[in-house]
Chains A and B, each alone.
Chain A
Amino acid sequence: NAGVTQTPKFRILKIGQSMTLQCTQDMNHNYMYWYRQDPGMGLKLIYYSVGAGITDKGEVPNGYNVSRSTTEDFPLRLELAAPSQTSVYFCASSYRGLASDEQFFGPGTRLTVL
């Protein structure tokens, strides 16, 4: 199993550009999550999904959108990139609910908005 994979690994965007961060898991997990990690800070939850077709906001959802059309994929969309979105983005998954099970993380996408 590859686990949780993310693409791209690095990206530089100009202010106002848009992009999609890709996340795929091959563990047949129901729950998937997007976090951002700013330097010296803990991870913050952006969005999560409890299954295909169902998503919900986390702590810091503004400026982002998600969709979940399949169990495996959970892309994160940035529509109008802003410097405040410069961060490292992590996708994670778990088999059961938010507090019920171990979360597994992808390697991250390092995004810089200039």
Chain B
Amino acid sequence: KQEVTQIPAALSVPEGENLVLNCSFTDSAIYNLQWFRQDPGKGLTSLLLIQSSQREQTSGRLNASLDKSSGRSTLYIAASQPGDSATYLCAGWNSGNTPLVFGKGTRLSVIA
């Protein structure tokens, strides 16, 4: 059974710092991977989708990469801002017909 681990569980950084969030899968045969942001009491907002033919995706200050050989993904946030404070979730698929499997998230606080 696929399981997803996100490290660290919580992170607090000063504004302006670059940071990396980590995600790892017990089964490295990841087909697609998606990173989400969740604000307290809110739904999930899709940040980046890495499809089967890709190794990374970038959107603004965010860059996500996927190493399929190890089943690990990282989300890099450049020049962090207080508005980046949220919980970040990664989720992956093993194949075209399997459900999306979620990690428990990393709770990020960016201090002004």
Contacts and interface: CB of A to CB of B under 8 A. Distances in A.
B4 interface: yes
Most chain A beta carbons < 10 A, residue from B32, B43, B98, B102: B43
User: Which of the four size classes fits the interface of chain B?
Assistant: 20 to 34
Secondary structure type dominating chain A contacts: loop
A90 interface: yes
B21 interface: no
User: Which of the four size classes fits the interface of chain A?
Assistant: 20 to 34
A42 B3 CA distance: 10
Nearest to A6: B43
B43 A105 contact: yes
Contacts of A15: none
Interface of B: 4, 31-32, 34, 36, 41-46, 49, 89, 91, 93-105
